[in-house]
Chains A and B, each alone.
Chain A
Amino acid sequence: MTPGKRDFRALIVAAGLAALFVVLFLHLEAQWAIALLALGLVLGLYFAVRAGLLARVQAAASHHPRAAIAINTIAGIAIIAVLREEHFALLMLATVCLFVTVCLGLTIQFGYAGIVNFSGIAFFGIGAYTTAVLTAHSAIPHLLIIIVSGLVSGLIGSLLILPMLRTRGHYAALVTIAFGILFRTFLEVNDTLGGPQGLKVEGMRILGWSLNDNISLGPLGTVSFYASYAMLALFVAAAAFTLIKRLERSWIGLNLDAVRTDETAAASFGIDVPRWKIFAFTAGNCLAGVAGAIYAMMSGYIAPASFNFGDSLLLVSIVLLGGSGSALGVLPAALLVVVLPEKLQIIQEYRLLLFAVLVILILRFRPDGLLPRTMREYLPGWGRK
């Protein structure tokens, strides 16, 4: 078999296994099965990394980036097709995709450029609120609103650029924490934006087709309307993933890495440090805003209570759980963090506690996360036996 064919086979097997896992995880109801699956995911990833299987798949993906993304998108569509009638499972899936998008934004920010952002959920919220206001008070097409919401998030984020650029480390962390709390409090006391009750958001319509209607397939049954949103969220997440991977491979990614590892050295090599920090911060916030916009349309209702400081911590935890700077790691981490507490009812009440303990253990004993970031491989097969 030629190496190319073997690469494809590895990719397809990996995507198939992942899809099978996601379907089982979202579909099964038995508590013991879910606990077993979650444990299996963590252990499986651990041994896949140890045994080098994952490196094999990642190498294959970096040799054939387009094929990798296509195969994974097909796997995603297959998941949605299998779960087409289950509202809750699809809602979970869509939420996971949106969280993946936000966390990929955060990956640009502190995985690559090293900018800490503890107000991720605030930028998500800005996107959601922009969408709520625009759908209610303007006739802009809804697909355009998603993009505008992303831009508004980036724009409002630029208010923080000056304090972010002048501060470093812990001081920069404070700026974003203060912003996150300020945002939440502002929403609660601002009556035009609905105060603590929040706002209703119209469902999405594309060219007169409302995404909030179930789709009837005649004898084949009906498709849950969440399937449309899951599809949309999947495409956005796939686009974000492609963007991140391309970014990492490009000169931009190299510059961002240089800025993170040593600002002084980067500056002395002629890298414009402020420029790349602004770029990373704004790009990350735009992604968060886009995800927030879709989230608002999907849930139909937004309130300040969904944009807590604690939720920002959740986002940061996903990124670190997956492995800082590892785009691939975001996927299993988001799946675990978002879905596990919803599915495991035994732990529902104790979920935050268990989850906090879990992250403490990971940071203490496996600080690189589930899937540590790998080196770039510019020349396929170079250095490989």
Chain B
Amino acid sequence: MDFGLVAQYLLNGIVLGVIYSMVAAGFTLFFGVLNVIKFSHGDVVMAGAFTALAAFAGLELLDAGVGMFAALIITVAGIVAMATLGAVLARMLILPLRNAPPLNTLLITLMFGLALRESVRLFYPNGSNPKPFPQLLPDLSMTFGNLALRLDSVLLIIVGLGAIVGVHLLIQRTRIGLAVRAVAQDPETARIMGINFERVVLLTFALGSGLAALAGITNGLYYSEVNFGMGLLLGVIGFSAAVVGGLGSIYGAIIGGFLFAGLQTIGAVWFAVPAYKDVFAFGCIIVLMAWKPTGLLAERSSERV
């Protein structure tokens, strides 16, 4: 195997890693503040991509559907729509179930994801078929031997990493982030200190869902195709990445995301049948869970008796 091919696999793995990390970061944020797993996250990723697609159709009507500017507009549209949806979901379904068994929260979000998926399939025009996603990024590439370095991949990696770093800085360096961390540490005490618990929770869900929309749009731009079922696998992969990295830590999400992408890439190279890559990757995840039950970066207080 020559250098160009290796580099090609590497580049592909990095783009996947960025997408997975963005999804995983959402899981980690939600788990951090409320100790819940929101299983509709993968479908929010999908819905974000479809919102962007609808926005693109709108732009085309105005004859503005070309170039980076259009890409920017549809991305913003997707992120804003999903952030709103995330906050509404938290308000309507997740906060009311705070005192119910965790399994109920898990199930209600799973079912919400199913409802979202079915709605797109049934109500989006021709939604049950894969839809082509517009190529809006500049179609430039440089070739080094066998390696075709596409400019759009590089842009996607930069934007994705930028978003994750941005969220991390927001959590670690700002007053809002301080409130989020306070709620994550101890909701009761945070309330006594005058932090508006509900607002912090809604904000976190908006943030995570916006990130999910970005992941969906990145996925669409990279593969030039979206379909209504793509959220399920992306959600499960994002969740695996977050758990393997260690729930509740953004670094863990990044490590987990890239680890999963790496496993998939190794699986794709290793086996003659490329479809075995998911079997391989999920098998490794189960083994990793047996070895490190609370993820690679363990939660500081995973046991509460």
Chain A positions near chain B (C-beta within 8 angstroms): 110, 116, 160, 162-163, 166-171, 173-175, 177-179, 181-182, 185-186, 188-189, 264, 309-310, 313, 316-317, 320, 324, 349-350, 352-353, 356-357, 359-360, 363-364, 367
Contact = CB atoms under 8 A, between A and B. Distances in A.
A352 B114 contact: yes
B120 to A, nearest CB: 10
Contact of A171 (B101, B232, B293): B293
A364 B96 contact: yes
B239 A177 contact: yes
Contact of B293 (A166, A182, A350): A166
Given A178-B236, A364-B96, A356 B293 contact: no
A175 B294 CA distance: 12
A353 B118 contact: yes
Contact of B286 (A110, A178, A186, A189): A178
24 contacts: A116-B106, A163-B287, A163-B289, A167-B294, A170-B37, A170-B102, A171-B295, A173-B106, A174-B239, A174-B240, A178-B236, A181-B233, A182-B279, A185-B279, A350-B122, A353-B114, A353-B118, A353-B119, A356-B111, A356-B118, A363-B107, A364-B93, A367-B100, A367-B104
Nearest to B273: A189
Contacts of B108: 359-360, 363-364
A contact face: mostly helix, strand, loop, or mixed: helix
A177 B286 contact: no
Given A353-B115, A360-B112, A167 B122 contact: no
Contacts of A320: 103-104, 107
A178 B106 contact: no
Contacts of A356: 111-112, 114-115, 118
Given A364-B108, A367-B100, A166 B289 contact: yes
Contacts of B286: 160, 163, 175, 178-179, 182
Contacts of B103: 110, 116, 320, 324
Contacts of B114: 310, 313, 352-353, 356
A319 B294 CA distance: 28
Given A186-B279, A353-B122, A363-B107, A174 B100 contact: no
A316 B104 CA distance: 11
Nearest to B31: A170
**Which are the 9 A-B pairs with shortest beta-carbon distances?**
A163-B290, A353-B118, A356-B115, A189-B275, A166-B293, A356-B114, A182-B282, A178-B282, A356-B111
